[in-house]
């Protein structure tokens, strides 16, 4: 099971269309700010936004963080967009709380700000939000993983490869959805890492990229080499986890992820 970019591409297009009455004028500019420009999910989002901007006659500038979690680059991008006279900003925020002040400043300057994929905290800090239901996405892959393991789910050893220490909303929602779907009791559903179920080997952060996924997987394998289920925040981190498992000679490990393409789908059982 993979959640592709289709829903968010539609959301990006709808966001631009919603802003069209204000934006579709000669010389009007808008900005797209994504977490990275390497994750296939955001690459497709950028392609869709550029196509829609061309259709609407809007001048679109795109910005991205160096890695997933690069909050400072996103703040700088918002400031650049405001300084350039952009009328609209579409953003997938790396730090959903820390970005709020920058978003507020942009809105006060008359810029329409729309959150994509990752709701801000609080959600009404943006003018609008277009996103998949990340908790439901996590819930579905958790249910699928438990069903795939069958009776062995009761004895699973689970590695949780999350996004960032700051725990942005998308990170928490996917993690907690997966655990609930797998049948694990949540503690505080507003954060990850406080669960007490012995099936969870541990949580490591990945920065949403392949190198981070590899290092996180190596750390958890060192803690328990018998891990047989791996939850990952996204496809690049899943690809890194796969490489770590391959190097360790592990086969038949179930890897699940919410977004991305199919690079990680090389294990014997992958969602």
pLDDT tens for residues 12-67?
445 554 554 544 445 789 999 999 888 888 888 899 889 988 888 889 999 998 88
Q: Looking at the structure, do residues 76 and 164 belong to the same domain, yes or no?
A: no
Please say if the pLDDT value at position 247 is more than 70.
Answer: yes
pLDDT tens digit string along 194-229? 999 999 999 999 998 899 999 999 999 999 999 999
Q: Is residue 236 situated within a structural domain?
A: yes
pLDDT at position 39 is 82
pTM: 0.79
- In the DSSP assignment, the letter for residue 187 is S
Model pLDDT, residue 72: 95
Confidence band (pLDDT; 50, 70, 90) for 69? confident
> Is there a single domain that holds both residue 182 and residue 113?
no
Q: What is the mean pLDDT of the segment spanning 106-123? A: 93
Q: Which is it for strands 269-270 and 254-256: parallel, antiparallel or unpaired?
A: parallel
Helix (H) or strand (E) holding 162: strand 158-162
Question: Please, are residues 97 and 103 in contact by the beta-carbon 8 Å criterion?
Answer: no
Residues 151 and 123 in one domain: no
Residue 37 lies in a domain: yes
Domain that holds residue 77: 6-130
What's the whole-number average pLDDT of the chain?
87
pLDDT digit string, tens, across residues 144-178:
999 999 999 999 999 999 999 989 889 999 999 99
Alpha carbons 229 and 157: distance in angstroms, whole number: 6
- The reported pLDDT for the residue numbered 164 is 92
- Report pLDDT for 263: 46
Can you state the angle between helices 134-149 and 169-182, rounded to 10 degrees? 30
Pair 177, 149 in one domain? yes
The yes-or-no verdict on residue 183 having pLDDT over 70 is: yes
pLDDT of residue 268: 36
- Quote the pLDDT of residue 55: 87
151 and 260 co-located in one domain: yes
Which of 130, 152, 169 delimits the end of a domain?
Answer: 130
């Amino acid at each position: 099971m993979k959640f592709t970019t289709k829903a968010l591409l539609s959301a990006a297009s709808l966001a631009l269309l919603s802003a069209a009455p204000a934006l579709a004028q000669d010389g009007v500019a808008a900005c797209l700010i994504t977490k990275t420009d390497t994750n296939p999910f955001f690459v497709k989002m950028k392609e869709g936004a550029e196509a829609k901007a061309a259709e609407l006659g809007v001048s679109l500038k795109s910005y991205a963080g160096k890695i997933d979690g690069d909050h400072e680059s996103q703040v700088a991008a918002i400031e650049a967009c405001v300084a350039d006279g952009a009328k609209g900003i579409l953003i997938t925020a790396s730090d959903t709380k820390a970005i709020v002040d920058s978003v507020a400043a942009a809105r006060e300057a008359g810029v329409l700000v729309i959150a994509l994929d990752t709701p801000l905290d609080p959600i009404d800090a943006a003018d609008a939000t277009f996103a998949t239901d990340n908790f439901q996405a996590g819930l579905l892959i958790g249910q699928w993983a438990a069903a795939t393991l069958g009776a062995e789910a009761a004895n699973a050893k689970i590695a949780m490869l999350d996004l960032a220490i700051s725990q942005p909303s998308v990170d928490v929602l996917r993690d907690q959805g997966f655990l609930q779907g797998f049948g694990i009791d949540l503690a505080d559903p507003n954060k990850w890492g406080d669960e007490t179920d012995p099936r969870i080997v541990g949580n490591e952060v990945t920065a949403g990229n392949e190198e981070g996924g590899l290092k996180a997987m190596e750390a958890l394998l060192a803690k328990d080499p018998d891990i047989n289920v791996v939850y990952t925040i996204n496809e690049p981190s899943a690809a890194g986890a796969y490489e770590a498992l391959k190097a360790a000679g592990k086969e038949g490990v179930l890897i699940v992820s919410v977004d991305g393409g199919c690079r990680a789908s090389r294990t014997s059982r992958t969602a």
